[in-house]
Structure 1
């Protein structure tokens, strides 16, 4: 997703979560368009309220590829006033130019060598979609570790992902750096700007 579109969704996060009922038409449309996977749909529908379901969708969209924003706008057929507001804001805000490619995302070397904090890992856990298991396996967790994370947090994907990331950091010690994390994200199809966002 373009940084401009990601920023727009972040700016309007509270507004969107107060206006949209995502499970009736929006989530099914995004699933039909292959923006969301079945695991994403289950994750969203497991949230206990309409507001939290919308927020979970907004967490997932920025990492679902370049088509995600356009498909999201098309899914707002029943919420025309919301779509109009987003489009108007998009037209009036200054454009940042073309979005960064993976090669453009550069973090300072001291940041790359840091061991990520609990806050960074928690924010990252909320941004990962169905890729989380392959990311954690790439970081060295076993299938038994993943099973334990899932069984310890059966109602919270965020909790399961965070538990896995904390386990990776604990087992790796000083070698569990931001640079290592970024490499695993890239190898599993997650744009490095996701990690850049959570570090800000």
Structure 2
């Protein structure tokens, strides 16, 4: 484990200690040989979940295995009902650093060397999105705007839909396992819709094809879609190394969800006050979120996701910053400017 990876864990130590389910983590880490049976005995002897997780994290940092960090991240991604949030929270550090490095260098010179350009592309390729191209804002918005209809219409066909997406390499076997871990068809569809935006723009095209193949029609979504034209339009906007990277950075800046990790981690119980400011129409139920998740971080993140889904284009960075300042959390607002 290198120093950056160690620091990424240390930066989120409190949230990890509070939110990790120790049993799930120890099972995965023992299977992969990171923890020993003696380690498990020591962990289980701790009185509280927080103390157990603190012991796990301490042993992770002390491990000499070169694969320890990757195995730890994979274990986090396998936690039921967490939707990879904890892993994404940790790895967001590397995404921000790569983007910041590129913008800093670009501001100094518009004529980057070819070697430097390749290095920047390599950095971005290592981000946790696991796709070669991020989904366009237009397609992300369509998934959000049609989420309710998609959830209603896909429930009966969710099995063949995700099997089709697995066969076309849009999702992985891990994603399939995550979807199948949900108890209801409704939850399975919602999980798939959460996964798609991070699987690239091809994921949108293949999802539309899956809907068409299984006779599912959602008005103004997969009706009359020319997938080749969509791909050509996207390619035109991303010609050239410089223009492609700048375009991707602009998309990142427009995607308010990139701030949700930091906001949720620092809000704690103030997420309820934030909800009262942002959800004026009262469309989001506090009790439903509290019943679903027990930790403040998960509750805050769930609220922010629901706010984005329900309010769509009205869920803006400007509104989020204004609401944070209104509840006396300027410290968080300053982090997302």
TM-score normalized by structure 1? 0.48
Give the structure with higher Rg (CA): 2
Higher relative contact order structure (alpha carbons within 8 Å, sequence separation ≥ 6): 1
TM-score normalized by structure 2? 0.30
